[in-house]
Structure 1
Amino acid sequence: MQTWYDWTPVFRMMLLGLLIAAGPLLWVWLRRRGAGTVQRLQALSVLTLFLTFDLVLFGAFTRLTDSGLGCPDWPGCYGAASPLGAHADIAAAQAAMPTGPVTFSKAWIEMIHRYLATAVGALILVMAVVSLIERRRDRTIPLLWPWLSLLWVCVQGAFGAWTVTMKLFPAIVTLHLLGGLTLLALLRVQAVRFGQADGLLRQALQMGPRWRPWLWALLGLVVLQVALGGWVSTNYAVLACRDFPTCQGQWWPPMDFARGFELWRPLGELRSGEALPFAALTAIHYTHRLMAYLVLAALLGMGWALRRAGLGRQARWLWALAAWQLVTGLSNVVLEWPLLAAVAHTGGAAALVVVLTGWLAVAHPQAARQGTVARPAGTPWQERRA
């Protein structure tokens, strides 16, 4: 009887993910042999956050090396669990199109990205299950964030599959990028909550709840800018402007915003089937550049406010990340999109999301009840070091 779907590659990918995840799990267990469950979960959360950050960077590397279709099916590679098992199919595709989307190097890049993603998913599953089991014994163990992370990593996996099956559809690829940053944010909050449950953050100087509206506003600007940056990258619009501060030698070059931001369409085409005009690519690039000015001003302003409030360390973090994004963003334009600068630019955006999300978590009113230091009454702009 004919089967509806061959589940063999799925099970093999899951097994590979578990094998890769066994390394971080063993490392945490050995490093925290005498620690309690909460301490182990907190350590595993931090390690998973680090690995997810690496995964986001490797995802950017996969996209920027045009390896997103290195294996044109999902989750395996031509039905195999690795490019080794798909050697004949990859060789045939590479012989037909030597510079096409399917080559041996691109297939390995794509599959390594999937292996890492599966391992991260396995780690998140372990944390969710252990949290549920241990919650019966220790009521301080949070359940919401581990299970939200598990739910979201499943959603993110679906977007990863659609990225391949829908042939790098720009809207799907951009949402996949935003989903990766959302997973980073969830894991960052999870690490903070486990740390608070174990009392690890009680000695640290933290922000008060009155900073939250400003942090939310700044995070919103950053996320919007990341979405615009993802739209630039997925539409290959980085080189639409190769000079700075002007674009094509003009302060306001010819732009087609309506077609540039026609969201639901294939790569390089309009819904009508016409090729995406260059003026549309220019509009995509220039919108991201204009938004960058606003985000840069907001980061500098927030850093100045933090410094005046006696939070100099946090201010330096913001200023350093703002400088990083400025340098890497300019490098992408004037050096014509070098791979290192492009990946570093994605890393800076991810770091901003992690930093701002962590501050929002410790600035929550719950943090004050659990012993973290809250600031005196007054607006954030009037706070000073005690």
Structure 2
Amino acid sequence: MINPKSYSKVLGFAVLLTLIVIVLGAYTRLTDSGLGCPDWPGCYGQLSVPENISTHEYQRPLEKHKAWNEMIHRYVAGTLGFVVLFILFMTIRGKNVLKQSVGLPLLLLATVIFQALLGMWTVTLLLSPLIVTAHLLGGFTTLSLLWWLWLNNRSTTLHSNNSDSSPVIHKSSLLKIAALFGLLLVIIQIFLGGWTSTNYAALACGTQFPSCFNSWWPDMDFVKGFELTHESGVDYEFGVLESPARTAIHYTHRMGALVVFSYMMLLGIRLLSVGGTFSKLAKLLLVVLFSQVSLGIMNVMLGLPIAVATLHTLFAALLLLATLAITHRIIKS
């Protein structure tokens, strides 16, 4: 029997699993394990990491720790794919009870399938920044769709039980527009973070903060830095851009962080005065926001330690979830 409670549990598990996939993807990227297995979906022609390989068949030597980083990420991502398929099945079977259309789960499944293709192209196109960034955004898109489904199910359950005590915000309220604009800013900043990482620009200003190479406006090449092209046959591992281009990417990410921090802090403070669930969500937003900015600064000043950089990706996901929760609550009010 499909019911909202079991549906919510499966969705919650899928959200958690997606967060794990995103963190594992970040760890794989940060440990330079993206090409730990030079083929797809297996690893050196096998379903697991082999003990040894033929050096004549593969140009890349086997580095077991990198290969395992990559394969564990693939295993967990594959598991998520089956969970998403099960969610679609549950939605279809319990459509009348759940009051959830199949449109969103179908879009979710299509996103996961496209994610698998991007995962393959990440390897076959030798870590092209355009593909790897798209793969990262696909992971965040999957997370967003699952979270939105969970929020929808929770909202339906609360309304059915008449237990939703959140303040009502009129449809014409500027707060709705403000929340949607905040969501857009967070998405853009996630793209900039992904573009920074995939172009190996995280330390393009060294370990200096807030200045960059003892300057507030260092030598930068924005045209090259944000050229969204891919050249076939080029190995993009460790990056191919010159220093001014990487500096432009890094500096833009810093400026974006300043804009997002300022805007979301003001939005959070405004929501604190609304009361009810909005106040709780605002507190969560502010905690995640300050944590994320602190992790970003630590990334630079400590020279990009893997643990801190991985947490930076996790808190980017948590910031997105908090912003989506606020947006959903405002829209449904």
Asked if 1:69 corresponds to 2:28, the answer is no
Q: Report the aligned-residue RMSD.
A: 2.5
Offset of residue 96 of structure 1:
8.4
Offset of residue 202 of structure 1:
4.7
2:28–2:34 contact (8 Å) kept in structure 1? yes
1:270–1:276 contact (8 Å) kept in structure 2? no
Asked if 1:132 corresponds to 2:89, the answer is no
> Which of residues 125, 146, 150 is equivalent to 1:191?
150
Q: Which residue of 1 aligns with 2:212?
A: 247
Q: Which residue of 1 aligns with 2:307?
A: 340
Q: Which residue of 2 aligns with 1:312?
A: 279
Q: Which residue of 1 aligns with 2:46?
A: 80
- Equivalent pairs counted in the alignment come to 321
Q: TM-score, normalised by structure 1?
A: 0.77
Identity %: 36
**Distance in 2 between residues matched to 1:213 and 1:196, nearest whole Å:** 21
- Return the index of the structure with the highest Cα Rg: 1
1:142–1:194 contact (8 Å) kept in structure 2? no
Q: Report Cα offsets for 1:323-379 as digits up to 9, x if no partner.
A: 111110001111000001111111111011112222222333xx3xxxxxx4xxxxx
Offset of residue 270 of structure 1:
11
Asked if 1:256 corresponds to 2:221, the answer is yes
Q: Which amino acid aligns with 2:248?
A: A
**Distance in 1 between residues matched to 2:162 and 2:77, nearest whole Å:** 33
Q: Which residue of 2 aligns with 1:226?
A: 190
**Distance in 1 between residues matched to 2:164 and 2:315, nearest whole Å:** 25
**Distance in 2 between residues matched to 1:318 and 1:173, nearest whole Å:** 28
SS in 1 for 2:97: coil
SS in 2 for 1:87: coil
SS in 2 for 1:88: coil
1:243–1:334 contact (8 Å) kept in structure 2? yes
Unaligned runs of 5+ in 2: none
Q: TM-score, normalised by structure 2?
A: 0.89
Rate the CA distance shift 1:156–1:327 in 2: closer, same or farther, 3 A: same
1:196–1:202 contact (8 Å) kept in structure 2? no
**Distance in 1 between residues matched to 2:47 and 2:55, nearest whole Å:** 18
After TM superposition, the structure 1 = structure 2 runs for residues 70-149 of structure 1, keeping only pairs within 5 Å, are 70-83=36-49, 86-89=50-53, 92=55, 102-135=62-95, 138=97, 140-149=99-108
Q: Which residue of 1 aligns with 2:24?
A: 58
**Distance in 2 between residues matched to 1:202 and 1:191, nearest whole Å:** 18
Offset of residue 184 of structure 1:
0.7
Task: Identify which range, 283-292 or 126-135, moves more after superposition.
Answer: 126-135
Q: Which amino acid aligns with 1:55?
A: V
Q: Which amino acid aligns with 1:164?
A: V
SS in 2 for 1:249: coil
SS in 2 for 1:262: coil
Asked if 1:160 corresponds to 2:119, the answer is yes
Offset of residue 152 of structure 1:
1.1
SS in 1 for 2:304: coil
1:141–1:197 contact (8 Å) kept in structure 2? no
